[in-house]
């Protein structure tokens, strides 16, 4: 798997850095391309920026919901598979999934099983994010090649 339940902090930070770099590359390029290609009427750059931010916000909300659905369904199907192996009967497993602070109160065996299924669910969400990054990379290849004009070519 990508990361285990008990993993080196360096791996976690490394994956977060990769995610941050890819987010940065997908932030500035499309915005600059949209602004360069926007009409040159007064207020058009403001409107273009507003539309880009609105589109990003809506896309973020949509894929946050999709990621949540993937996580919840993966976790639910994983918990159903390990339910017969759980030894703890003080809390129903559904209650443990809704109140994650109860995981600390499970014994070591059950905690390891639940954490393993949680990591599998995170793993599935991670691959959705990788897929979306690849799609955005393909779209970035087809962005406009129009460049910002040099200072001497701009009329002031």
Choice between 150 and 107, residue whose per-residue pLDDT is larger: 107
Predicted TM-score (pTM) of the model is: 0.73
Return the closest-CA partner of residue 135 out of 53, 38, 32, 22. 22
Q: Which residue carries 């918990």 as its tokens?
A: 79
Are 114 and 106 in contact by the 8 Å Cβ rule? The answer is yes
* Angle CA 87–92–95, to nearest 5: 135
The pLDDT tens digits of the residues spanning 13-35 come to 877 787 777 777 777 888 888 88
The pLDDT tens digits of the residues spanning 64-103 come to 999 999 999 999 899 889 888 877 667 777 787 778 788 8
Are 76 and 118 in contact by the 8 Å Cβ rule? The answer is no
Are 124 and 70 in contact by the 8 Å Cβ rule? The answer is yes
Q: What gap in Å lies between CA 81 and CA 2, rounded to an integer?
A: 21
4 Cβ neighbours under 8 A, 6+ residues apart: 119
Are 117 and 72 in contact by the 8 Å Cβ rule? The answer is no
Q: How many CA atoms lie within 13 A of 53 on its CB side?
A: 6
């Amino acid at each position: 798997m990508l990361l285990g339940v008990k993993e080196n902090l360096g791996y976690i930070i490394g994956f977060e850095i990769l995610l941050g770099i890819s987010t940065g590359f997908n932030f500035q390029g499309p915005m600059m391309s949209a602004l360069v290609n926007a009409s040159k009427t007064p207020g058009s750059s403001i409107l273009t920026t507003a539309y880009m931010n609105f589109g990003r916000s809506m896309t973020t909300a949509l894929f946050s919901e999709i990621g949540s659905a993937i996580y919840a369904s993966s976790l639910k199907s994983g918990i159903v598979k390990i339910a017969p192996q759980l030894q703890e009967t003080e809390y129903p497993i559904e209650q443990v999934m809704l109140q994650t602070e109860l995981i600390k109160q499970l014994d070591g065996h059950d905690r390891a099983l639940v954490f393993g299924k949680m990591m599998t669910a995170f793993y599935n969400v991670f691959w959705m994010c990788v897929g979306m990054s690849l799609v955005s990379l393909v779209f970035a290849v087809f962005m406009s090649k129009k460049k910002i004009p040099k200072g001497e070519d701009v009329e002031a």
